[in-house]
A and B are shown apart, each in its own frame.
Chain A
């Protein structure tokens, strides 16, 4: 398919969408996006798409022009941004397009913010037919699609090989590690023992660090302990007391053996990053977009140097023979339920084409949304980390798109805090968390065993 025919197709769709162009010469599309250095092109690609569209209009002799009104917020994190977006929506300031974390789709649909895109997707196979099918799961709510995946990622424990070497582990051990994790031979507890060992031997100052606030990484760890967060049949969140207790016991084990700082949850992001990038910590539990900053911090210049320095592993299985887990947390485009929604959807479609999307993926270290992208020269040259990361996607799961997932995450995180700081025993914390979940989420959560 040539660009020309694509443009023609786009133009055709547009002229049918904007059916009263004689007076509507300028259409303003409000685009809501969180300022985020890990993805300026999420908004930028929409702007470019509008530029393209305007050139098509001009070529066709049409007077219609599309302007993008950028609303770029400075919220700290996607949860805060999603709440602000809902607030704006509730006072009638619904944007036509929004960039958001996928798990908020449930809330957006319930609030009447996000438009149903089933028809648009079905009508636009040119744009979407090559999408990696699993990614569609991330935009589903009650069986229908309400967003377009913008990127994907994988999460992992980053391991500093030099610290392992300094602690006396040989190359064979390092090379074998990912395989052992994948086969379920190396467990979460082994991970903490390993980290504690490097601290004892003086090779590391800190064993390992995780994120200092609520976030998707913890769901990945919970999954390793057999907690299946979502009940598809009933469309409800769920939790098991035994799984939660085990998960918290593991955290306590790690704090007690000295591999995890007791005040991890009061760290700033800055000191969390510094702990690993400064060579103080053996491991860091985070995501693939860290690669750029790690290359810079350790002074590495290519893939070989990088993988000589760093090893990636999944969240290991909780017990030997179990399954390791990974979690992908796509960012998605939402089309607002506004009068411009068809045009907005089209702009989203154009911004999701391989060329612009690859530019985002490669510059910010995010995995692609279509199969075709991986074959692109740009990807082959600059996307080595992503190509290397793609096998990890095999273990990836998504967070459920449930309206109360934000609260669920926040409450389970308070348990993490309580256990790590030594305030509560794992059993008490699990009890407290389950009580809070019952109180705050009511019918939306199922408590198993």
Chain B
């Protein structure tokens, strides 16, 4: 009996030690990634002279550490999540107010209400004042990323289902060429794509980047979706069909709900791609026919005549935000992406 207890004790101790070591390791490698982003946020909310300064970063890190520390301590003490979070947030807020209270301001976000911020910042650069309000670019980016996401998810789901379930001559060749398609330097194909887009008359429209980005991403997403379909047992579909459902009905009503996670996961990645795209957006227009967030940020950070980094950081914060929100809500789906074969 005593032996068993000792053994159990030793294994809990070992587990704790291992957990501690892993945590230290993970924290150590995550700091270099997290700190620059915290810095960006601090520049956006505190920079007054348009410089990228670290003055407020260090207090901000102290605040965050204190918040995390008090959360951890409370959690270890009470073993309950909610009060621990509350304590952490309160400590961080209080300390933040004391250390950073007078540094915080929203001046760098004035581009959100001022439709012609570029001229206010640096003087007139155009005759027509054609630089759009940030919301115009924001809306275009939403349309671009949103439409593209819908098309990518629909098209790759359909194709992946077919590839997963049907046999046809050339299926292997098709799958292999899909994999090889990813070998193509899509981005160096801008000029041929430009020519084709011109030939089909889509130049200077948002349709062009939407369709092009979709096509370039399809091979990867079809593979991911195929993995999800492969993991859905045939029996489910089979029993639906023996109950009288047609193949398409079975797909729609029985199989599709099973791969919802996959559709969300590729949707998130497709959205991010459309949201951040610069090369194709810029390459498939002549002149200034449409603006999106990436071209907007490019212009704000164009530094030939000097630049206001406070505002650049603020624009960057606004630009990152939708992607982050999307991520927070969907992150649990992202780590369920499998690549076929594994679950078999």
B247 to chain A minimum Cβ distance, whole angstroms, is 45
* Chain B residue contacts of A91, Cβ below 8 A: 198, 203, 286
Cβ distance A399 to chain B, nearest Cβ, rounded Å? 19
Binds A, one of B36-44, B97-105, B302-310: B302-310
Partner of A88, one of B125, B287, B295: B287
Chain B positions within 8 Å of A270 at CB level: 303, 306-307
- Residue of A at shortest CB range from B305? A37
A87 at the interface (CB under 8 A from B): yes
Residues of B within 8 A of A77 (CB): 304
Q: A interface, by DSSP: helix, strand, loop or mixed?
A: mixed
Mask: chain B, 105-129; 1 = CB below 8 Å from A; 0 = not: 0000000000000000011111110
Residue pair A72, B198 in contact (C-beta under 8 Å): no
Asked if A76 is at the interface (CB within 8 A of a chain B CB), the reply is yes
CA distance A44 to B126 in the complex (A): 7
Chain B CB within 8 A of A93 CB: yes
Does B133 lie at the interface of the complex (its beta carbon under 8 Å from any beta carbon of A)?
Answer: no
A355 at the binding interface (Cβ < 8 Å): no
Q: Is B220 an interface residue (CB 8 A)?
A: no
Interface centre among B131, B203, B288, B299 (most CB of A within 10 A): B288
A293 within 8 A of B: yes
Complex contact A73–B287 (CB within 8 A) = yes
Check B130 for interface membership: any CB of A closer than 8 A.
yes
Of the listed residues B122, B128, B198, B299, the one surrounded by the most CB atoms of chain A closer than 10 A to its CB is B128
Q: Which of chain A's residues have a CB closer than 8 A to the CB of B303?
A: 268-270
A402 at the interface (CB under 8 A from B): no
Q: How many A residues, CB 8 Å from partner?
A: 30
Give A272 Cβ to nearest chain B Cβ, in Å.
9
**Taking the complex as formed, is B194 at the interface, i.e. its CB lies under 8 A from any CB of chain A?**
yes
The verdict on A237 contacting chain B, using a C-beta distance below 8 Å, is no
B-side interface residues, number (CB < 8 Å):
24
- What string of 1s and 0s marks CB contacts (under 8 Å) between A51-87 and chain B? 0000000000000000000111110110000001001
Q: Which of A67-116 contact B (CB under 8 A)?
A: 70-74, 76-77, 84, 87-88, 91, 93
Which of A18-26, A28-36, A327-335 sits within the interface? A28-36
Task: Write out the residue numbers on chain A whose beta carbons fall within 8 Å of the beta carbon of B128.
Answer: 43, 47, 70, 72
Q: Which residues from chain B contact A32 at a C-beta distance below 8 Å? A: 287
With A and B bound together, what is the CA distance between A37 and B306 in angstroms? 11
Asked if B127 and A37 sit within 8 Å, CB to CB, the answer is no
Least Cβ–Cβ distance between A214 and chain B, in angstroms: 13
Q: Which residue among B123, B198, B286 has the maximum number of chain A CB atoms within 10 Å of its CB?
A: B286
Interface membership of B174, Cβ < 8 A? no
Instruction: Kindly identify which residue among B123, B130, B295, B304 contacts A72, using a CB–CB cutoff of 8 Å.
Output: B130
By a CB distance below 8 angstroms, the chain B residues around A293 are 305-306
Residues from chain B with Cβ under 8 Å of A47 in the complex: 127-128
**CA–CA, A32 to B288, complex, Å?**
10
Does B298 contact A40, Cβ atoms closer than 8 Å?
no
Apart from A43-B127, A274-B306: 5 A-B pairs, beta carbons within 8 A: A72-B128, A74-B302, A77-B304, A87-B194, A91-B198
Sample of 19 A–B contacts (CB below 8 Å): A32-B287, A33-B127, A35-B299, A37-B122, A37-B124, A38-B305, A40-B124, A71-B287, A71-B288, A72-B130, A73-B287, A76-B304, A91-B286, A93-B286, A269-B304, A269-B305, A273-B306, A274-B306, A293-B305
CB within 8 Å of A: which residues of B? 122-128, 130-131, 194, 198, 203, 286-288, 295, 298-299, 302-307
Interface residues of chain A, those whose CB is within 8 Å of chain B, are 32-33, 35-38, 40-41, 43-44, 46-47, 70-74, 76-77, 84, 87-88, 91, 93, 268-270, 273-274, 293
5 A-B pairs with the lowest CB-CB distances in the bound complex, closest first: A88-B286, A44-B127, A43-B127, A71-B287, A270-B303
